[in-house]
Amino acid sequence: MTLDFGRVAVLLGGNSAEREVSLRSGTAVLNALLRQGIDAVALDPKHDDITQLQKMGFDRAFIVLHGRGGEDGSIQGFLTTLQIPFTGSDILSSAIAMDKSKTKQIWQSYQLPTANYQIVIKDDFDPAQSEDILTSLSGCVMVKPVNEGSSIGMAKVSNPAELADALHDAFKFDNKVLLESWITGKEYTVSILNGQALPAIRMHTENQFYDYQAKYHSTETQYFCPCGLAPEKLSELNQLAIKAFNAIGCSGWGRVDFMLDEQGSWFLLEVNTVPGMTETSLVPKAAKQAGYDFDQLVLEILKQTL
């Protein structure tokens, strides 16, 4: 393995709001590589001087940085400049996927299904607009900072006071916030590996939605894989996941999230170019159902750098 891959930098941690999740993901990836005899070293851009990657003799990088600095094209651009191969999507697709509003606009141009939405800019927002915004989006909305992941800063609101408060909180994470019409239904996710859809997962939580607490702390969240869809509906979901992933120009590996409403219609939520790799993360669950154990999954992702 050392002969094939050389020295591998596992980039983890960073400075984003998702730092703690990234540390857990990165440690899991590092241990998987070490178990397979690969010369892997963890580097945290918050503390380590990654400008010295070439001088330190690294041949490739496994990116496990979630959020800004890891999924927004920044580290991809840096590694491209150093001519160091890296896992996952390229600069442009990473940057687009990180911006939920740009992602939705591209999906709309491909006529792919996504919920009605509105973008609110921090400096332009007047709380007096809250009622009109809610009315235009069917009275109930999901509030999402445009450039955050792991459901950070998200909230479900259904009256003007709640909307104003939720925007106030979301603006702490981002100056641009996405408001989406609330979709009542079931939440699914499809992991992508080497251009193929892995088995879909349905998530169920007693929380209002699949939030940070449900993802990383709850012992009550349920994951169904196989997801229980009829074969034709599952095929529809997988095809839509591949189209959505490719529309943004993503490559290597990632994850596309969906809602299935009560009328049986799919709605795209977002695409993740560096999904979680913790013990509770979705991509490893899907990969396990497809026959990959965690170490094999990590190796398949690293092979994309060869």
> What domains appear along the chain, each with residue ranges and CATH number?
2-87 (3.40.50.20), 96-113+184-292 (3.30.470.20), 117-181 (3.30.1490.20)
Look at residue 202 and tell me whether its pLDDT is greater than 60: yes
Mean pLDDT of 284-294: 96
pTM of the predicted model as reported, rounded to 2 decimal places: 0.88
Out of 71, 187, 211, 257, which one is annotated catalytic? Answer: 257
pLDDT the model gives residue 1: 57
The pLDDT tens digits for 264-276 are 999 999 999 999 9
pLDDT at 151 over 90: no
Angstrom distance (rounded) from CA 227 to CA 233 = 11
Decide which of 126 and 149 is more confident: 126
Write down the catalytic residue from 150, 151, 238, 251.
Answer: 150
Q: Does 291 participate in catalysis according to the annotation?
A: no
Strand partners, 272: 255
The mean predicted confidence, pLDDT, of the chain is 91
270 included as an active-site residue: yes
Which pLDDT value is given to residue 230? Answer: 97
Catalytic residue among 187, 270, 281, 292: 270
pLDDT average, residue stretch 112-140: 89
Q: Specify the higher pLDDT residue, 270 or 211.
A: 270
Catalytic annotation present for 255:
yes
Share of the chain above pLDDT 90, in %: 72
Q: Which of 93-97, 107-111, 168-172 has the lowest mean pLDDT?
A: 168-172
Query: Has 18 been annotated as catalytic?
Result: yes
Model pLDDT, residue 149: 56
Closest CA to 68 of 141, 182, 153: 153
Query: What tens digit of pLDDT does each residue of 215-274 get?
Result: 545 567 899 999 999 999 999 999 999 999 999 999 999 999 999 999 999 999 999 999
pLDDT band at 207 (very low <50, low <70, confident <90, very high): low
**How far apart are the C-alpha atoms of 39 and 274, rounded to whole Å?**
22
Mean pLDDT, rounded, for 72-83: 96
| Of 278, 272, 296, 241, residue with least CA distance to 96 | 272
Catalytic residue among 216, 249, 261, 295: 216
| pLDDT score at 219 | 65
For the chain, percent of residues with pLDDT exceeding 70:
93
**CA dist., res. 134 & res. 279, Å (int):** 38
Catalytic residue among 13, 16, 18, 68: 18
pLDDT given at position 77 = 97
Q: Which residue has the higher pLDDT, 193 or 149?
A: 193
**In this structure, which amino acid lies at residue 191?**
S
pLDDT at 211: 55
How many angstroms separate the Cα of 124 from the Cα of each of 105, 114, 128, 167, 273? 21, 25, 12, 12, 30
